[in-house]
Chain A
Amino acid sequence: MNSFAVIPSAAKRSRGIPSRNPTVFPRDPSTSLGMTGSRMAIVFCLFFGIASGAFAQAQADFAKANQAYAQGHFKEAIAAYETLVSARHWNANLFYDLGNAYFRTRDFGRAILNYERALALDQHHPEATANLQIARDESRALELQPTRLERYLQFASINQYSIAAEVAFWLGIFGIAALMFVRRRSAALVSLSILSLLVCAMAVWAIHTVDNGSKGRALAIVTGNDVQARLATADTANSVLALPAGSEIKILSTRGDWMYAALPNDLRGWIQTKNAKQVRL
């Protein structure tokens, strides 16, 4: 179906006479929107250019923050790193460097928080692991003790478990589909299908256990100083545990400005929301 664009005659427009027989130009049929291939290429180039420009800007900001850190201007470096974090240019090295900057300003709570974030993005970040240990020693931060099961399951990340579950699931589904259509059902095919689905189920269970465990999505770090976990949501309530900066807690629920959290030493208590930050953004 042809579509048409209606443009008034140039001659009649020049005389100021309203057009009665408008000139009709057929729309370019090469694209549905009437956009030529070259135009599409231009749009694509523009999009790519903007994206690469933003990326280059982020790299420049990162370099600038590193320079400020090298010159000993740690607060400037922190501000620059935090700008990158706000712009969601997240990567493990950025959080690691931000943690280092906080460490230099003796803010061990936030240093530990950012090392934890680096490790959440890259579980095997050796520098973040080493500096996290040093920061914890300095602040005497308390850690949540994972269960033995969680310790075993943490040999792989949640993403790795997700991929394993996905591959095993589709292997199992293909196996079952094949079993439905072949005339001779071989024992090997049956075993492969069952094994694949079992692996998938175990991977899903591992994801659930790790994600809801002490190092899972509810993990938060105490960033305030002299933080007291209390029995109730009041500053005057009895203290359950004094939490040094950088201590780990697991958020169980929130109520207003307070959060109920699992604490180290198998305790539970209320902490003001402003005194702790969740690791996963």
Chain B
Amino acid sequence: MQSRILLVALASIAVAEFAYADSPSVTAVLSNSEATVGETVELQIKVTGPGDARPPEEISIDGLEIHSTGTSRQFEIHNFSTNSSVTYNYTILPLRAGRFTIPPQTVQAGGKILRTPELALNVADAPGQQTKTRPGRSTQSQPTSAGDLVFAELVVPKKTAYVGEVVPVQIRMGFDARVHPRLTEPPDITGQGFTSQKLQQSSQNLETINGRPFEVVTFKTAIAAARAGKFEIGPVKAKAQVVVPRRRNAPRSRSPFDLFDLDDPFSDPFFSNPFAQFGERRDIQISSDPVALEVKPLPPNAPPSFSGAIGSFVMATDAKPKSLQVGDPITVTTTISGRGNFDRVNAPLLEDDRGWHKYPPSSKFKQDDEVGISGTKTFEMVISPNENKQNLPVLAFSYFDPAKEQYVTLQSEPMAIAVQGGAVAPVVAAQPPASSPATAARGRPPVPNSAKPQDILYQLTEPSRTVESFEPLYARRGFWAAQSLPLAAVLVFAGWKIRRARLDDREARRISALQHEAAELMHKLRRRDDASPQEYYAEASRVVRLKAALASRDRGVDPNTVDAETAAETFKLDTNSCDRLRRLFEQNDEWQYSGTHNGPERISPENRRDVLELIENLK
């Protein structure tokens, strides 16, 4: 069940991908825009996108013989994204010299009618500047040399060019089909005064040259001269490993292919009987002859919108939206396609940008060939009107056409737009265009159209009485100095509380001691019958003093200072009790200070009970 779900999901994704695939597009490219009479040039029409395509049935141009050579299809899947394309190949054989234009061809694809771009082909009378170092009799001075088995040639279609003009270059390297070649160092074009693009391997096919089969590998690149003058392009150098037969002293037999005594190295028995002995792998250096190129400077008086583009281009412009408010952004899309140095193709300029706020454009380039000479560069520029406008500003793009040998300026067609809202303050128009499209999209909203240009509020002439600081409050010294006040308050509060606790503790200990002493004395008074009257009255009066001191604990009374009157007042005794208490203290004094007593030597039980009763009632 899970596998079914997975299949369904994959199918859905595939269908969705097909559904969301790009709409079909068509490109056409010549393998070379310069040729000589009798030299074939390839034309490729590539249709990309879903659906069936119908190529042009016949391309007929006077002076050119054009034949279809086949169709190739490509189908690619990358991360669930499908891409299919069909390439229709044609060969063009120029029959006479001149400048030929291949008009746009109609191609039906995916239910749409597409048109290829217009292509130009310059055909020269004289043979092109082709330098070939091919194996032949003249190069066979080194018998059985590996150099006989390979050749390299540099094909530069032009003798003259302009500074900065991109010149396509082909490097053809041929290897005898029987040497099992292996390229160890790719070809490199030596020379100074020009820049070359990265080499791209274009094709590999089998050709028969001088009656011998050769594997010919074609590399393509483009060069651009950096300064005027006469240059030598090349030679092209490369290194390869080939298998050649081992040398033998014995005379070898004739190869059946060597009918004309060409000293063919493959007349070696190694090739007739590979198992008889092994060949050896040998490193060889391949080199071509250099090609002369004359580079001319560009003519003066270039138009203002010329940025260095050289070639042949066409321009198309579109803008969205066409109905908007003042200050709203418009995206202007400009497509420049053709053949030339696209790295110097910059965005077209606004011929009159007054009343417009423009942002830096973005660009993307899609090349139609291996080396990026043909292609389409698309620019997106955001502009916004600062006032009422009825047309988009005209866009101008200039380039130098080396075929016409003059500057060409392309201008966009006037495009009508509808801008609503009043004019924005002129100051806005004077602002520098400093924002990118991203800025425009996510920046501040434009001024409302209905609102009049706002003016700032009046000047405040009332001086401030205080000097303010940017320093936050917590970082100022005064703030932390002010914290000393509550800190001091906390410390005073804590100190006061601690001192008070200590005092309370001392008083509690004193009271506890007094209570303890009173309890012990009471215990003695109750239990000891044999105590002398001196001891008994002393202890009894001491208990009274202690109880009086405990009863008036809040005042912190010392028990030694308590007399009969104080005790009576403390306990608020009646007259009888007061008299008894006084008599107790008097008897104690008598026993303490006289040493004798008029009464008996011992205290009677009645007196003891009377004293105890008196003391116990003291509360």
Q: Taking beta carbons and an 8 Å cutoff, which residues of A are in contact with B?
A: 58-59, 62-63, 66, 69-70, 88-94, 96-97, 100, 103, 106, 117, 120-122, 127, 130-131, 134-143, 158-159, 162-163, 165-166, 170, 173-174, 177-178, 180-181, 207, 211, 217, 225-227, 239, 241-245, 264-265, 279-281
Contacts and interface: CB of A to CB of B under 8 A. Distances in A.
Nearest to B494: A177
Nearest to A244: B434
Interface in B426-454: 427-428, 430-432, 434-436, 438-439, 442-444, 446-447, 454
A162 B474 contact: yes
A91 B462 contact: no
A181 B494 contact: yes
Contact of A90 (B359, B446, B469): B469
Contact of A63 (B461, B466, B474, B483): B461
27 contacts: A59-B463, A70-B459, A89-B467, A91-B463, A91-B468, A92-B464, A96-B460, A121-B468, A127-B457, A127-B458, A127-B460, A131-B456, A137-B444, A138-B428, A139-B431, A140-B446, A143-B444, A158-B474, A163-B473, A173-B486, A181-B494, A239-B436, A242-B359, A243-B439, A244-B439, A265-B438, A280-B470
B481 interface: no
Contacts of A92: 464, 468
Nearest to A125: B460
B432 A130 contact: no
B501 interface: yes
Given A103-B456, A243-B435, 12 more contacts: A63-B463, A100-B459, A130-B456, A136-B444, A137-B447, A137-B454, A138-B431, A174-B489, A225-B434, A242-B439, A244-B434, A279-B470
Interface in B486-509: 486, 489-490, 493-494, 497-498, 501
B600 interface: no
Contacts of B435: 140, 242-244
Contacts of A170: 486, 490
Interface of B: 359-360, 425, 427-428, 430-432, 434-436, 438-439, 442-444, 446-447, 454-464, 466-470, 472-474, 479, 483, 486, 489-490, 493-494, 497-498, 501
A120 B455 CA distance: 23
Contacts of B470: 90, 117, 120-121, 279-281
A130 B457 contact: yes
Contacts of A226: 432, 434
Given A138-B427, A142-B444, A177-B494, A88 B457 contact: no
Contacts of B467: 88-91
B455 to A, nearest CB: 8
Contacts of B494: 177, 180-181
Interface SS of chain A: helix
Specify which of B446, B457, B490 lies most central, judged by the most chain A CB atoms within 10 Å of its CB. Answer: B457
A160 B599 CA distance: 89
A135 B373 CA distance: 48
A241 B438 contact: yes
B444 to A, nearest CB: 5
Contacts of A137: 444, 447, 454
Nearest first, the 3 closest Cβ-Cβ pairs linking A and B are A91-B464, A181-B497, A162-B473
A226 B360 CA distance: 11
B265 to A, nearest CB: 56
Nearest to B357: A140
Nearest to A225: B432
Contact of B434 (A103, A131, A165, A243): A243
A158 B472 contact: yes
A221 to B, nearest CB: 14
Contacts of A180: 494, 497
Nearest to B460: A93
A243 B438 CA distance: 11
